[in-house]
Amino acid sequence: MIVVIQCADRVGLVASISGLLASENLNIVSMNEHVDKGENLFFMRLEIDKLSDSKALEQKLRALLPDGALVNVNPKPEKKVIVMVTKEYHCLADILVRNHFKTLGASVQCVIGNYVTLEDICKRFDVPFYHVKYEPSEEPEQQVLDIVSRYEYDYIVLAKFMRVLSPAFVSRFPGRIINIHHSFLPAFAGANPYRQAYERGVKLIGATAHFVTDELDEGPIISQQIIPAGHSFTAGDMMKAGQEIETAVLAKALRLVFDDRVFIYKNKTVVLE
Amino acid sequence: MIVVIQCADRVGLVASISGLLASENLNIVSMNEHVDKGENLFFMRLEIDKLSDSKALEQKLRALLPDGALVNVNPKPEKKVIVMVTKEYHCLADILVRNHFKTLGASVQCVIGNYVTLEDICKRFDVPFYHVKYEPSEEPEQQVLDIVSRYEYDYIVLAKFMRVLSPAFVSRFPGRIINIHHSFLPAFAGANPYRQAYERGVKLIGATAHFVTDELDEGPIISQQIIPAGHSFTAGDMMKAGQEIETAVLAKALRLVFDDRVFIYKNKTVVLE
Amino acid sequence: MIVVIQCADRVGLVASISGLLASENLNIVSMNEHVDKGENLFFMRLEIDKLSDSKALEQKLRALLPDGALVNVNPKPEKKVIVMVTKEYHCLADILVRNHFKTLGASVQCVIGNYVTLEDICKRFDVPFYHVKYEPSEEPEQQVLDIVSRYEYDYIVLAKFMRVLSPAFVSRFPGRIINIHHSFLPAFAGANPYRQAYERGVKLIGATAHFVTDELDEGPIISQQIIPAGHSFTAGDMMKAGQEIETAVLAKALRLVFDDRVFIYKNKTVVLE
Amino acid sequence: MIVVIQCADRVGLVASISGLLASENLNIVSMNEHVDKGENLFFMRLEIDKLSDSKALEQKLRALLPDGALVNVNPKPEKKVIVMVTKEYHCLADILVRNHFKTLGASVQCVIGNYVTLEDICKRFDVPFYHVKYEPSEEPEQQVLDIVSRYEYDYIVLAKFMRVLSPAFVSRFPGRIINIHHSFLPAFAGANPYRQAYERGVKLIGATAHFVTDELDEGPIISQQIIPAGHSFTAGDMMKAGQEIETAVLAKALRLVFDDRVFIYKNKTVVLE
């Protein structure tokens, strides 16, 4: 059983929490915590070796903790997700494979694409695919909202979805949309990052998984990684090499989020591994 | 103030420890713990935001903890070390520079070399250097023991000391001798690891910092790192490239040890960062 | 058009080769070469910007080069491969996805498994799957030989095939069987490398793609990579983390081999990227 | 003997160059080349196994090559450098140590600092140190010019020199000033990159070695590297961790430049390793 806590910091929090668990005869298997001293914020993730009455324990924890504490006892072990894509297959295929073999830590409810390119791979894995044409006259975001409204879901994953979502859309899903951006943010935000990286002559290229907020490519970063890219790389070579780490970085970010290890505050994340 | 604890695991340890600290009005700045479930062992490192009576707190902690607990409250913030070298300068120079600028986390008492090659660099940093000829007739280990007996020291650092220490010597300093081995152990233990790596045609070469035990290159590993080494690397190129990571890996391992983050058990370490 | 050359080294080879190409009016787009001075061997890979008469050019090159030169002008741009698996899906699924989207640089002819576990994923991608029971009475290697004899193929890829192939089997396919081993060879050859790595307390774990020879896990290494694995990793965690790099390392090795960039000599490879 | 060539590309260049060398009975030990097709530029670095008449060979090569070719036969094996610093010791100490042990590939002529902090370490290595107060009334850049005019030098290395050089100053040394910037450029150019990185919540921090041009932190990149930096890193921790890679990245960039492996064009470099 997992317990996650995010609240104002104060002296004795660990003692209160671990004391309560001991009095409930709950054994802590692992405990990770972080304090942001500048912001006076406390974050904790606990693994407990048996199940307990979640609601009751949540109430007892809230009674112990500062006002406004976020407490989640025994969050859903398997999240539900909707994936949005354009034409590139690499991130989606990786997600579909893990989903199929039950190692994603989430179940994919459906895939929405602004092209039909990736419909076939979804069908091969028995995952519903919806095509939404991204033309203004089609009111595509309304169509997306209509589709997602038919499903239960915890997160929307943008697996190389190459359209910018409107602030109105994003604001409906705070902390619930995860994007993979094909650069080492904040370098090369916006369009054509590999072209930008090529023009600048960088020696490493990167990928960044982050939560989506109103500001394009400015949301809280979950995970980043880089690979070498020398002078012999064309912008196309950078794209190909980059796709390998995009896949890896998104997979890692999803694992962390689905495993209840990622906390959001300000424009940052705490990742308790 | 740092507190480190290593003991048998049991339910409620975190609650007992954090409860005691709260009752003493000591605020936990950071807490790292690890449980090895297979071995039923508990490891913890705490940072507390003010000094307290170390002896009294140690006694109270021991009273709380299972029998045989290792407890160290407020360990020396600056360790004292003796360094042993042969001819290669890179690790020693890095240690001397950090020592000079007070960023090593330890103070170097003296350097012992089985060649005089590195005497000059020691003199430039006002660090005593002793030359011990490694010929059997000279009983070199006895000479080393005589030298170290004149100093206070917490650790002996083998900064590319290319002689094998006898089990009799090693057994005098359990968990107190740190070595840098120029390979990714357990690959290429023993002599000439770069030659071995070259012959084997590996694509990465590594370095390993570890505590020294009776068995050559078999002691608990503290830190490891690798770098790429393609077909164009001669054994000599591997050695040169390897020296860069040897320096970095030893520096990192020393920082971790001097910062009281490394716990030894069985033939392993727990590193609480 | 690609040209690959492997021969004894001598003065003027580059001039002879590039002179011939210039006289044939063939423009060099990229040229990579390596000389192993100890072995007096010369390796070269050229990209030429148009097609030419392969046979004629091969003959002219051979006439220029030392006796016994290996020359291959315009090797097959798309290799054919047979994949062997056991139960783990990660490497196979990655290969099937790339095969499906035509980015593998090879086409998968069929998959042979010693369990039926992975039959379903093959069917989803319309790739034939054969089940060969690995019991001595079944003479499994003879069954494998019968199956592969029905196909054209350039390489056999062991994508986590967990049985040891007999020397008699291996000797039929010199330089044509590629394996992914789940450790940083030569550390932890043989069975259960993650268990071995866990017991040894290493701080990094690795994966190695190599050609298969008679000696288990001793063949020429194509590619290797590592990831951090701290004290908190159980042997199971190491396995999970390791699977991510196994997939990546095998994918990279296959790309290099299928792109005619890997040369074998002695027990090593030259990789001309 | 090294030969470096940078010129317009055309068919047959490799044949002409290697043919000339063969006719001069010069054996090529290693050859690296790159063609930027978009810019139609050819870059080559050769190692030849004996010395020859440099001037004569340069003339013969120029006669073969397109107009305006840059050709350098047998460039100085040991460059001369002047180092500029502020207060941080890590990059300077690394350079002084390598200089002292003759592994820098260059000899340090003197060090200029805008504080006296690092005078002592220079004295310990018998390297002249000059203090230039960076106050407008002191006309510091004129003082620097006066000092450097007393020395022969090939490069000026900014080893954590924390003042911005004027365009007038920079324009006197095109392609000859090398800087280490403490971020993964183009992210976090300008002042306080670790503070910026901390505020942005990045998960990796980087360092970039580059040639200095008029535009701050916008010159051609030579080398970059990154290290992980999680949520637990304060801006101060990022700075400490960053210093380790600043040292390593600058050391690598200097090795590449001093070894005549770095070519500048547009705002980029080609690095022939």
Of all residues in chain B, what percent carry a pLDDT higher than 90? 86
Per-residue pLDDT tens over the stretch B35-50: 998 999 999 999 998 8
β-bridge pairing D262-265 and D221-228: unpaired
- pLDDT number for residue A173: 96
Q: Are residues A62 and A147 in the same domain?
A: no
Q: What's the rounded Cα separation, in Å, for the pair B144 and B131?
A: 9
Convert the pLDDT of each residue in A49-108 to its tens digit. Answer: 888 889 999 999 999 999 999 999 999 989 999 999 999 999 999 999 999 999 999 999
Amino acid in position D255: R
Q: Which residues of B touch A (CB under 8 A)?
A: 11-12, 14-16, 18-19, 21-22, 25, 27-31, 33, 35, 37
**Inter-chain contact D232–A34, Cβ cutoff 8 Å?**
yes
Q: How many domains does chain A have?
A: 2
The predicted structure's pLDDT at residue B145: 97
Under 8 Å between Cβ of A121 and A89: yes
At D27 the pLDDT is 86
Q: Which of A73, A88, A103 is a domain's end point?
A: A73
| For range D147-162, the mean pLDDT | 97
The three-state secondary structure class of A142 is helix
State the virtual CA torsion across C165, C168, C173, C178 in degrees, nearest 10.
20
**Residue A120 known to be catalytic:** no
Which site among B42, B203, B271 would you substitute to test the C interface, given the most C Cβ atoms closer than 10 Å to its Cβ?
B203
Q: D205-219 burial, b if ≥16 CB within 10 A, otherwise e?
A: bbbbbbbbbeebbeb
Catalytic residues of C: 217
- Residue whose pair of structure tokens reads 């660090």 in the numeric block: B127
Is the pLDDT confidence value at C130 over 80? yes
Helix axes D90-100, B90-100, angle to 10 degrees: 140
pLDDT for position C249: 98
Residues D239 and D133 in one domain: yes
The chain D residue lying nearest B122, using CA atoms, is D124
Q: C256, C222 in Cβ contact below 8 A?
A: yes
Question: Nearest residue on chain D to B102, judged by CA atoms?
Answer: D89
Of C220, C230, C267, the CB nearest to B271: C230
pLDDT of residue C51: 80
Average pLDDT over residues A31-44: 94
Residues of D in contact with B125 (CB under 8 A): 124
Residue that finishes a domain, picked among D26, D53, D73: D73
Cα distance between residue A81 and residue A99, in whole Å? 10
> In angstroms, what CA-CA distances link B93 with A49, B89, B131, B155, D90?
49, 6, 17, 18, 12
Whether C213 and C229 map to the same domain: the answer is yes
As given in the structure block, the two tokens for residue A44 are 């904790």
Q: What is the pLDDT of residue B172?
A: 95
Q: Is the domain of B24 the same as that of B89?
A: no
pLDDT at D185 (0 to 100): 86
Statement: residue C27 has pLDDT above 90: no
Residue numbers of D annotated as active site: 217
| Residues of C at the B interface, defined by Cβ within 8 angstroms | 34, 36, 184-188, 200-204, 206, 220-226, 230-232, 266-271
Are residue D87 and residue D68 in the same domain, yes or no?
Answer: no
**Judgement on whether residues A67 and A85 belong to the same structural domain of the protein:** no
User: Which of A45, A73, A101 finishes a domain?
Assistant: A73
Residues A142-148, mean pLDDT to the nearest whole number? 97
* Cα gap B64→D244, rounded to integer Å: 41
Give me the pLDDT at residue B9, please: 94
pLDDT score for C125:
98
Q: What is the pLDDT of residues C214-264, one digit of tens each?
A: 887 889 999 999 999 999 999 999 999 999 999 999 999 999 999 999 999
Contact yes or no for B244 and D248 at CB 8 A? yes
Chain D residues near residue B248 by CB distance under 8 angstroms: 244, 248
Distance CA A246, CA A224 (A): 9
Task: Say yes or no to pLDDT of A158 above 80.
Answer: yes
Residue found under tokens 């590939």: D105
- Residues C158-186, mean pLDDT to the nearest whole number: 94
Q: What is the pLDDT of residue A1?
A: 92
Give the lowest-confidence range in A29-33, A109-113, C145-149, D112-116. A29-33
Q: What is the CATH number of the domain that holds D264?
A: 3.40.50.170
pLDDT band at A210 (very low <50, low <70, confident <90, very high): very high
Q: What pLDDT is recorded for position B21? A: 94
Instruction: Give the Å distances, CA to CA, from D145 to A189, D136, D140, D151.
Output: 40, 15, 9, 10
Tokens found for residue D200: 């942005």
Cβ separation of D14 and C31 shorter than 8 Å?
yes
At residue A189 the predicted structure's pLDDT band, cuts being 50, 70 and 90, is confident
Interhelix angle B13-23/A13-23, rounded to 10 degrees, is 140
Q: Domain check: are A125 and A89 in the same one?
A: yes
pLDDT tens across B206-227, in order?
A: 999 999 998 878 899 999 999 9
End-to-end Cα distance, chain C = 16
Q: Are residues A53 and A123 in the same domain?
A: no
Nearest CB neighbour to D231, from listed A34, A187, A188: A34
Same structural domain for residues C57 and C133?
A: no
Whether the per-residue pLDDT at A262 is higher than 80: the answer is: yes
Q: Are residues A200 and A238 in the same domain?
A: yes
| pLDDT reported for residue B191 | 84
HEC profile of chain B: CEEEEEEECCCCHHHHHHHHHHHCCCCEEEEEEEEECCCCEEEEEEEECCCCCHHHHHHHHHHHCCCCCEEEECCCCCEEEEEEECCCCHHHHHHHHHHHCCCCCEEEEEEEECCCCCHHHHHHCCCCEEECCCCHHHCHHHHHHHHHCCCCCCEEEECCCCCCCCHHHHCCCCCCEEEEECCCCCCCCCCCHHHHHHHHCCCEEEEEEEECCCCCCCCCEEEEEEEECCCCCCHHHHHHHHHHHHHHHHHHHHHHHHCCCEEEECCEEEECC
Domain residues for the domain of B35 are 2-73
- A131 has a pLDDT exceeding 90: yes
Q: Are residues C220 and C168 in the same domain?
A: yes
**C-alpha triplet B142, B145, B151: angle, nearest 5°:** 155
Q: Which residues of B touch chain C, with CB atoms under 8 Å apart?
A: 34, 36, 184-188, 200-204, 206, 220-226, 230-232, 266-271
Q: Which residues of C128-163 are buried (b: 16+ CB within 10 A; e: fewer)?
A: bbbebebeeeeebbebbeebbeeeebbbbbbbbbee
Mean pLDDT for C167-184 is 95
Which pLDDT does position D74 carry in this prediction?
A: 93
By the 8 A CB rule, do B222 and B271 touch?
A: yes
Q: Are A177 and A170 in contact (CB under 8 A)?
A: yes
Summarize the confidence of residues D41-45 as an average pLDDT.
97
D27 SS3 class = coil
The CATH code of the domain that includes D8 is 3.30.70.260
pTM to 2 decimals?
A: 0.96
Q: pLDDT band for position D14 (50/70/90)?
A: very high
Structure tokens at D156: 């000026």
Whether the pLDDT of residue D216 is over 80: the answer is no
Q: CA distances (Å), D47 to each of A232, B17, B65, D259, in order?
A: 20, 65, 67, 11
Could you give the dihedral angle defined by the CA atoms of residues B229, B232, B235 and B240, in that order, rounded to the nearest 10 degrees?
A: -60
Q: What is the pLDDT of residue B218?
A: 85
Chain A residues in contact with B11 (beta carbon < 8 A): 22, 25, 27
Whether C43 and C88 map to the same domain: the answer is no
